Amino acid sequence: MSKQKMFWISVLLILMLPTMALAKEAVQEWRLVNPEGVVNIPPMQLAPHPATLDGKTVVLQWNGKTNGDNFMKPIAEMLTQQFKGIKIIKAWEIAPELKTISQNPAVSQKMADKIASFKPDLVIGTQAD
C-alpha cells in the first residue's frame, strides 16, 4: 500500500474516532405513528326532523361556489309546490355575507348564528362547484 493511501486512511480514522467514541449502545425507543390521518369524532345527537314541512320555515344556504344558486332555486320551487304554507328563505339574498367559505371557527360560528336568527325549522345547504 502506498504511503499516500496510508496517510489518508490514518486521517480518516482520526476523524472518525471522536464519533465512534460518542456512539454508545443504547436501547432505542420507537413511537408508532399512524399515517392514515384518521380523526375520531365522537357521535353527536342529531336534531329531530319535522314530520312535514307544511307551515315550516326552510333556509337555503349557498356558500357562493359556482352554480350552487342554480341548484337551490329549483329546490325552493319544488318545496313551495309540495308543502302548504312553507316559508323559504334564501340566505344569500337576505344576508350576502353568508355567501362565503371560511375555515375560521369564529367566522363559521357567526354565520351559523346569523342563519339561526332566521328561526328556521330546517336548513338546506350546498357546496356546489
CB 18 within 8 A of CB 48: no
CB 100 within 8 A of CB 63: yes
Reported as a single tens digit per residue, the pLDDT across 91-123 is 999 999 988 888 888 998 999 999 999 999 999
Summary count for the chain: helices (H), strands (E): 4, 3
Distance CA 117, CA 59 (A): 11
Q: Which residues make beta-bridge pairs with 125?
A: 61
pLDDT above 60: residue 20: no
What value does the mean pLDDT take over residues 62-68? 89
The pTM score is 0.64
Half-sphere exposure of residue 68: CA atoms within 13 angstroms, side-chain side: 19
Give the closest residue to 68 by CA, choosing from 108, 127, 122: 127
Reported as a single tens digit per residue, the pLDDT across 78-92 is 999 999 999 999 999
